[in-house]
Chain A
Amino acid sequence: MSDQSIAFVRHETLPPSPPPASETGIVKWMRENLFSSVTNSILTLAALYGIYSILSGSMPWILGGIWQAPSLQACREILAGDSAGCFAVLTERWHQLIFGFKYPQEAYWRPTLAFVLLIVAVAPVLFANLPRRMLILTGLYPFIGFWLIWGGTIMAPLMGLVGFIVAYMVFQRLERSSFAMGALGGLVAAIIFWTLGGYVSDAMSGFLALEQIPSRDMGGFMLNIILGTVCVSLSLPIGILLALGRQSNMPIIKIICVVFIEFIRGVPLITLLFVANVVLAYFLPPGTTFDLILRVIIMITMFSSAYIAEVIRGGLAALPRGQYEAGDSLGLDYAQSMRLIILPQALKISIPGIVNVAVGLFKDTTLVSVISMFDLVGMIRGPILASTEWNGVYWELFGFASLLFFIICYGISQYSQWLERQLATDHR
């Protein structure tokens, strides 16, 4: 026996060995997420094949597209039998797609400027951390935007603005006696002022005047944006009133609101547009000529306000009963408790729903092409596809239209999700 000790004691710990290759990094991720079972593996392979076939079909078509050509024939000649997109239709008809085919070319800067200002004006409403002073521009925007797009003297929108200010001042004066008196007084004051202001702006029709552009000349994507913005912003206050009316305990007012909301929600928008197109004129005083675009705005606003009213009613119903009782016990009257306690909370709950309605409404503005207005879809189906140069260019044009709508609608819905996270004051 040897007296040499064979015992071995390690003095330092072993360095940790790396995890097996199948349990780390991308391999593990793929095993867990793509190939966790036989069914999953088959699904993954099928999905990959689907993606590959779509991309391999569409990428050469998109990347090899022709961007400069006067017509489809010329484009096909350049392509010489290759299969690729003729995006030249977009560059050649760009102005028509955006502004319609009648809007005067030298005035394109006006809607463009109005669009830029729209972004600036909407920004402080969307993002609470921007300086609050920018809200002044938001308040002024409807009048500036109207002046820029429709033209005419600046006196008309100016009088409109001053009318609102007068109405607000009268309202503040009378509000102390009661909210209803204040609202009524403000309304009367505004109507009186606008009637008088009409004469003033008629007399000064040359003052700071832009070339007047009738609204039947508007078209293209501009029309979609105008309809969407105007109708959403008008339908929000009307929707709130309708929702309050539906929740009210005055039976007659409640019945009026319920009938209106259920009627509008029960019929398709297209029938309302038919009403705007052919029927509405019968209900107006004989001899009134009423702009088609204005009639459409009225009908779409009615349509969306009914939907918004239902969303806000949901918000009102979701508030605990205690909030209403707390308002009463503080001695606030109906208008005060609604304005100070109920509506701020109810509107906050309803934001996702309201944004959904707004996105839906913006998409629905394409329906005006059915009553032969030339919005983006109307321009594509009408003047562009019917022209001799571009007869048969479907995919490029509809792809472009889908892309425009997708970017805006997806952007809005992402914003709404972000806002929901911002407004979530509870802890989970």
Chain B
Amino acid sequence: MTSINDPKPESFQLSQLINDTRYRSYTFQFVALIVLFFLVGYLYLNLVENLRTAGLDISYEFLGEPAGYDINQRLVEYNSQSSHWRASVVGVLNTLLVAFVGCILATIFGVTAGVLRLSNNWIVAKLMAVYVEIFRNVPVLIWILIINAIFLIALPQPKAFKSRGGNPPEAEMLWDSFAFTGRGIYAPKPVFETGSWVVVVVFILSIIGMFAYRRYTKLALYAHGRDLPRGWPSLAILFVPAILVYFVMGSPIGLEYPELKGFNFKGGIWARGSFVALTFALAIYTGAFIAENVRAGILAISKGQTEAAAALGIRPGRIMSLVILPQALRVIIPPMISNFLNLTKNSSLAIAVGYMDITGTLGGITLNQTGRAIEAILLLMAFYLAISLGISAIMNVYNNSIKLKER
């Protein structure tokens, strides 16, 4: 006699952890976690053991101790008695300064080269291609060193601007206000006297007014079909009130020109050679990459868009600004931001030309003086990481806002 039994309810077997896809992923993750745990534990134990034998510990107290070294390029008050923390802040500001100026310059270089590379002028297009290929294919460190050498060697020293014994000087200042020397660039500095704030406030109001006017013309165009002039009224709104107030208040903003005193220039703004060389090298290197992005972005817009706009009777300039650019920017901006990030990270090469950025202060002299390698490098990485993650977060928000609204 046979009886048919129900199939046994599946009981969990250990082999299912390996063979059953339902459970296998748990096994893998568990193993990965264990391996990671042991790896971190192993490294940590090694660290503790090594620090004990070297008689060290992990502490950030060194940040409060006086740094004892001087930083020649600084945006905030600093002297050799200031703390290491203060030195790091000076370095951070210097990094941000290079990154900020470099990004602006790189955008100018890149957009110009990218647009010109698409020009229908053969020789200009080829020249821009040569620029892009040369700068993209040679390491940025070599460019920084070359451009630094150009500034150091090829530009005249300040003493060359001095006329000696009736002879005309070997070098002359540009418009009597800019001096390009091997020690850096000297430029006039605005001096704000009493009453200057009125001019500044009026100028800021004019900027707001200009944007309001442009918005108004747009509304008038879209709502009522009236095409108001834009160019000269914007310029007038921007400059006329400020200039009037400037003279009414009795010229409160003056310029302090750099002057040759002895063997060096005094007064004005002095951008150090290392800063100028580093910023310029980073900008022209990154500009080559941005040029390629701009070119790709413009090429990505199909020719039909231009033709359709032309068929609607839009003028060529308006086609670019109203039809092509808004679409191309969507393609151009994300890689451009990552190029800006690269520029910021590459600015750590400042150490090669002696510009004191965060890598030069915290990761360089502070590290060598205090011997706090782990702490210093951790802080250094945290700083760069914070910048990178911050910018990518902003970029994600931006990307979502300009994403094509598909239905």
Contact = CB atoms under 8 A, between A and B. Distances in A.
A43 B112 CA distance: 13
A178 interface: yes
A252 interface: yes
Interface in B219-264: none
A113 interface: no
Contact of A180 (B28, B367, B387): B28
B349 interface: yes
Contacts of B121: 33-34, 36, 40, 43-44, 47
B359 A270 contact: yes
Interface string A12-39: 0000000000000000000011101000
B140 A363 contact: yes
A285 B149 contact: no
Interface string B313-341: 00000000000000000000000000000
Contact of A265 (B146, B374, B388): B388
Given A51-B127, A274-B363, A370-B351, A363 B139 contact: yes
A405 B139 contact: yes
A47 B140 contact: no
A27 B79 CA distance: 67
A262 B138 CA distance: 26
Given A178-B19, A279-B373, A285 B46 contact: yes
B50 A267 contact: no
Interface string A62-91: 000000000000000000000000000000
Interface stretch (A128-136, A148-156, A210-218, A394-402): A394-402
Given A33-B120, A253-B32, A267-B381, A364 B18 contact: no
B47 interface: yes
Contacts of A367: 141, 349
A29 B119 CA distance: 15
A166 interface: no
B134 interface: yes
Interface string B348-359: 110110000001
Interface in B102-131: 119-124, 127
Contact of A369 (B43, B141, B363): B141
Given A34-B123, A47-B127, A283 B345 contact: no
| Interface residue tally on B, bucketed by range | 35 or more
B29 A251 contact: yes
Given A43-B124, A278-B367, A279-B374, A405 B137 contact: yes
Nearest to B338: A265
Contacts of A364: 139
B28 A253 contact: yes
A40 B21 CA distance: 67
Q: Is the interface of B mostly helix, strand, loop or mixed?
A: helix
Interface in B3-52: 18-19, 21, 25, 28-29, 32-33, 36, 43, 46-47, 49-51
Contact of B124 (A44, A282, A369): A44
Nearest to A365: B139
B49 A286 contact: yes
B31 to A, nearest CB: 9
A29 to B, nearest CB: 8
A250 B139 contact: no
A249 B28 CA distance: 12
A111 to B, nearest CB: 21
A253 B29 contact: yes
Interface string B378-398: 001100110111000000000
Contacts of B380: 271, 274
A269 B18 CA distance: 40
B53 interface: yes
B153 interface: yes
Contacts of B139: 363-364, 366, 377, 405
Contacts of A118: none
B160 interface: no
B207 interface: no
Given A44-B121, A282-B50, A394-B153, A405 B145 contact: no
B401 to A, nearest CB: 21
Nearest to B43: A283
Contacts, number: 154
A283 B47 contact: yes
Interface string A242-272: 0000000111110010000011011111110
A275 interface: yes
A178 B18 contact: yes
Q: Is the interface of A mostly helix, strand, loop or mixed?
A: helix
Interface string A42-66: 0110011011000000000000000
A402 B142 contact: yes
Nearest to A359: B137
* From B124, B139, B149, B359, residue with most partner A Cβ within 10 Å: B139
A213 to B, nearest CB: 26
A32 B121 CA distance: 8
Contact of B141 (A256, A262, A377): A377
Nearest to A277: B373
Nearest to B28: A250
Interface string B123-165: 1100100000110111111100110010001000000000000
A348 interface: no
Contacts of A256: 32, 36
A364 B146 CA distance: 16
A181 B18 contact: yes
A354 B196 CA distance: 55
B388 A44 contact: no
Contacts of B352: 369-370
A281 interface: yes
Contacts of A127: none
A366 B141 contact: yes
Given A36-B120, A40-B121, A178-B18, A402 B146 contact: yes
A388 B83 CA distance: 39
Given A178-B19, A263-B385, A402-B142, A286 B53 contact: yes
14 contacts: A33-B122, A36-B120, A40-B120, A267-B388, A270-B348, A271-B348, A271-B377, A271-B381, A278-B377, A363-B137, A367-B349, A402-B146, A405-B137, A410-B133
Interface of A: 32-34, 36, 40, 43-44, 47-48, 50-51, 178, 180-181, 249-253, 256, 262-263, 265-271, 274-275, 278-279, 281-286, 333, 359, 363-364, 366-367, 369-370, 377, 381, 394-395, 398, 401-402, 405-406, 409-410, 413
Given A47-B124, A370-B351, 11 more contacts: A33-B120, A33-B122, A43-B124, A44-B123, A180-B28, A253-B29, A266-B387, A267-B388, A268-B384, A271-B381, A286-B49
Interface of B: 18-19, 21, 25, 28-29, 32-33, 36, 43, 46-47, 49-51, 53, 119-124, 127, 133-134, 136-142, 145-146, 149, 153, 345-346, 348-349, 351-352, 359, 363, 367, 373-374, 377, 380-381, 384-385, 387-389
